[in-house]
Structure 1
């Protein structure tokens, strides 16, 4: 996701030659250590430990050599027009994406591939040098953590703005307690005073805490409504979207037509999962609704008993029918037939009903 930035394919550029020329300023050992740490030869970075073992030195010593070498090279970066060209191109891409990009997306825009490669490793190396204190104002890399994937920011301010923006959006959505449609996301962001989210698409691609569901709604990735984990969650999501009770066969069809995955949901499996999950309530013959809609488990008679038990006064027949219909999809006659059980319900002289005392 490039957030509107121009797409570049620089796979055949001379960035690797530029980097080879640059590291010649280092001693042979230091050059080898830096090259292996950044993957400048193979495209794959090596650990401090593996490099240390090959030289018979500690991890800390390797880190010190790396830091010293980068400090040396950062002093000559500003005078190299070739390096300046790649830094400028990267800044253009980052700026077009709102100031930040997921590292893999930057790779794809720069070289045409988001896979490990010498070209992509060379870009990281150049941008790392450009972002050192000696080159104030250069791009900044944020390493992957529990909250977001590794990314590059236009500068330190853009990096901080990204972290603050994502954190604020997570808090706002947590308080909202439900996903927000993509069409309403910008107004939602503005309403919550979050001013540093320029391109929400880019932020969603980077954040590990935010996600978008099949209905184009944004929320927390931990929510079943955003990332359903199984048949139960998928049933919950489609039923909530329909906003009315559905037969279990229809729920299975909705799961399969929504496009969660290529694997089809079995009708009987769906029915079994609905029965086992307290989020779903049987409200009619094969019809299921959500308990959060006010539906309660039990037979029509049990619902009638529950209504009267929780009422502070006797209830008229019409009131009882209305309350049961809020919890069940049944015919009125079914309710009236159950109400005729004189062992359970007592009809008063004024026509209202109470529970018969044991």
Structure 2
């Protein structure tokens, strides 16, 4: 549909000043949108007077071009319904006609089925078919935020308490319009400021990678996956192994559990050298343990060889003492 030509025809019968105000306010014909103040300065009138002219011009267009507007609105309404009856403004304009987004924006203001809402701390500007859809969207966002705050991590939509009668397209469009809720790259839902949802720094990207993989990784592999996931289309922005390794060392969320192998502390891994892990195991046991018992517990915390544990016990006999039956205990115990 030729939206640009339609808009030209709609404003042509208007007085010249009305035409100029509408064309500039909406950025028609490839122009940029002009503020009320700028137009007021141009005509030496107040901002409020410009607003009155704009509203009067829109009213005249609606009164005399009902059929043209209805016909032009059909395609926009089709796209909007296809997206669940509500859509974030910038995305809707791009979907309908990216090259003539300003003309589509203008027509949205003329056609009766469309309602513009949002533009607040909760939701971006949206267009919907009726005001009630915007009210429902804002309430839905509030409910989902409360649930996510209680859960504390990204989850699938099926893990949330969402009424079964809600259309998935409507849900997707509402989340897309929310300023607080966001989909992850894995189609989970979380709060936008969570590092696993919107990882800003390299350390957050490393955290995202480990959470996604669900298992310990070598720092070289973490760096590779960061570049694959976040910088695949921007080679110049890609990170290097040294930077990733430095971030892993500095951040308490990560624990070195073997030669270059990192895990998340939230998985139950504890920081420290092998000697400290063995000492912790013995202290928590509160009694002497056999080598086999020590080994099994240490290997839950570290990806190391059995000989490493033997070596640490042998080289620290002033700390790890042995009973007559060969079990180990801490000197202080």
5+ residue gaps in structure 1? 1-9, 132-137
> The residue matched to 2:194 in structure 1 has which SS?
coil
Does residue 108 of the first structure (1) align with residue 94 of the second (2)? yes
**1:292 match:** 266
- Pick from 289, 308, 316 the counterpart of residue 289 of structure 2: 316
Does residue 234 of the first structure (1) align with residue 209 of the second (2)? no
**1:272 CA displacement:** 1.8
- Pick from 108, 124, 127 the counterpart of residue 105 of structure 2: 124
**1:71 CA displacement:** 4.6
Between 1:207-216 and 1:49-58, the stretch displaced more is 207-216
> The residue matched to 1:284 in structure 2 has which SS?
coil
The count of aligned residue pairs is 327
Q: Is the 8 A contact 1:128 1:139 kept in 2?
A: yes
5+ residue gaps in structure 2? none
Q: Is the 8 A contact 2:22 2:54 kept in 1?
A: yes
Give CA deviations for 1:224-273 in whole Å, capped at 9, x if unaligned. 22222233222222222222222222222333344543333322222222
Give CA deviations for 1:83-135 in whole Å, capped at 9, x if unaligned. 11123332222112110123334333433x2x5x4xx333323322334xxxx
- Pick from 8, 16, 19 the counterpart of residue 17 of structure 1: 8
Q: Comparing both chains, which one has the higher relative contact order based on Cα–Cα distances under 8 Å and sequence gaps of 6 or more?
A: 1
> The residue matched to 1:281 in structure 2 has which SS?
strand
CA distance in 1, matches of 2:191, 2:82: 26
Q: Measured at CA, do residues 243 and 20 of structure 1 come closer, stay the same or move farther in structure 2, by a change above 3 Å?
A: same
Does residue 198 of the first structure (1) align with residue 168 of the second (2)? yes
> The residue matched to 2:257 in structure 1 has which SS?
strand
**1:333 match:** 307
CA distance in 2, matches of 1:16, 1:72: 14
- Pick from 204, 215, 224 the counterpart of residue 253 of structure 1: 224
**1:225 match:** 196
Give CA deviations for 1:22-70 in whole Å, capped at 9, x if unaligned. x62xx54344333322223554211111111112222233334434544
Give CA deviations for 1:4-25 in whole Å, capped at 9, x if unaligned. xxxxxx236741234224x62x
Q: Measured at CA, do residues 197 and 353 of structure 1 come closer, stay the same or move farther in structure 2, by a change above 3 Å?
A: farther
- Pick from 173, 176, 193 the counterpart of residue 151 of structure 2: 176
Q: Is the 8 A contact 1:281 1:289 kept in 2?
A: yes
> The residue matched to 1:94 in structure 2 has which SS?
helix
Does residue 93 of the first structure (1) align with residue 66 of the second (2)? no
The two structures have a TM-score, normalised by structure 2, of 0.83
Q: Is the 8 A contact 1:165 1:196 kept in 2?
A: no
CA distance in 2, matches of 1:38, 1:257: 41
The two structures have a TM-score, normalised by structure 1, of 0.78
CA distance in 1, matches of 2:153, 2:212: 12
Q: Is the 8 A contact 2:282 2:289 kept in 1?
A: no
Q: Measured at CA, do residues 31 and 143 of structure 1 come closer, stay the same or move farther in structure 2, by a change above 3 Å?
A: farther
CA distance in 2, matches of 1:298, 1:252: 23
Q: Is the 8 A contact 1:168 1:194 kept in 2?
A: no
CA distance in 1, matches of 2:124, 2:202: 28
**1:154 match:** 129
Higher normalized helix content (fraction of residues): 2
**1:82 match:** 68
Q: Is the 8 A contact 2:93 2:105 kept in 1?
A: no
Between 1:287-296 and 1:36-45, the stretch displaced more is 36-45
Give CA deviations for 1:127-168 in whole Å, capped at 9, x if unaligned. 22334xxxxxx2111354454443211111122222223333
CA distance in 2, matches of 1:292, 1:96: 42
